[in-house]
């Protein structure tokens, strides 16, 4: 006789058959909910780890930016008599021009101290450099420098071809472009960091020549 249906009817005098579907069949002694929670817990740990990494990266970036501000904010800019092979012109016409540029610059940006100077090139009087600017705390130096270049667009000569140039060991941002005047096109450059903003005009010079000269002038003018 086949025993395929032993669980469906009682054997005479024997106990009632056991219903095999009353309890679920378990393949492990672990709580089923525990197995389900395990991937979720790992997911939460991964998410928390990613969030922590983002926070740490933000703190590090803020720390670097804060250190840069602290390092650059106390800046001094001087106008020595000899600078990068140039000589400061202290004649009345040069001083008048320098003061005019200084006043205009100071009207565009709030400064703690402002200055303006003209530097003569001993090799060619037509290549005198007009430099002007000042010191103050700047939170966004590049933005402020771009604003100063845009303000120059209100003058007869508009700055074109503006581009970054190497700022050198003092850091910050330095840019140069081209403008025009009575003598034709010439370069205009500016630097800005968290403690200063300075611009210069280079008659009879293009950007390729003005950029390195301006960096050299800055290194002779600025101290922290």
Confidence (pLDDT) at 65:
67
Give me the numbers of helices (H) and strands (E) for the chain, helices first please: 4, 10
Q: State how far the alpha carbon of 89 is from the alpha carbons of 1, 3, 122, 218, in Å.
A: 125, 119, 11, 17
Cα torsion through 204, 207, 208, 214, rounded to 10: 90
Helix axes 141-152, 92-108, angle to 10 degrees: 120
- Which residues of the chain are under the pLDDT cut of 70? 1-65, 67-68, 70, 72, 153-157
Instruction: Say how far apart CA 108 and CA 112 lie, in whole Å.
Output: 13
Token pair for residue 6? 């032993």
Confidence (pLDDT) at 5:
41
User: Domain limits of the chain?
Assistant: 76-223
Burial 84-99 (b: 16+ CB within 10 A, else e): bebebbeeeebeebbe
> Which one is the CATH code of 76-223: 3.30.310, 1.10.1760, 3.40.1000, 2.40.50?
3.40.1000
- Beta-bridged to residue 131, according to DSSP, are 117, 200
- Beta-bridged to residue 197, according to DSSP, are 134, 192
């Amino acid at each position: 006789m086949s025993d395929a249906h032993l669980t469906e009817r009682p054997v005479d005098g024997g106990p009632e058959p056991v219903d095999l579907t009353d309890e679920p069949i378990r393949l492990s002694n672990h709580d089923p909910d525990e197995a389900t929670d395990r991937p979720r817990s790992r997911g939460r740990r991964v998410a928390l780890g990613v969030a922590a990494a983002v926070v740490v990266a933000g703190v590090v970036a803020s720390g670097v930016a804060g250190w840069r501000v602290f390092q650059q904010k106390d800046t001094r800019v001087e106008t020595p008599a000899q600078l990068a092979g140039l000589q400061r012109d202290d004649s009345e016409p040069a001083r008048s021009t320098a003061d005019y540029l200084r006043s205009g610059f100071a009207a565009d940006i709030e400064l703690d101290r402002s200055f303006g100077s003209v530097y003569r090139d001993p090799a060619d009087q037509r290549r005198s450099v007009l430099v002007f600017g000042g010191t103050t705390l700047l939170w966004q130096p590049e933005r402020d420098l771009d604003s100063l270049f845009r303000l120059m667009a209100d003058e007869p000569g508009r700055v074109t071809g503006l581009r970054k140039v190497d700022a050198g060991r003092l850091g910050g941002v330095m840019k140069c472009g081209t403008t025009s005047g009575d003598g034709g096109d010439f370069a205009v450059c500016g630097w800005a960091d968290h403690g200063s903003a300075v611009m210069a005009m280079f008659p009879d010079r293009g950007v390729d020549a003005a950029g390195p000269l301006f960096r050299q002038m800055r290194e002779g003018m600025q101290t922290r």
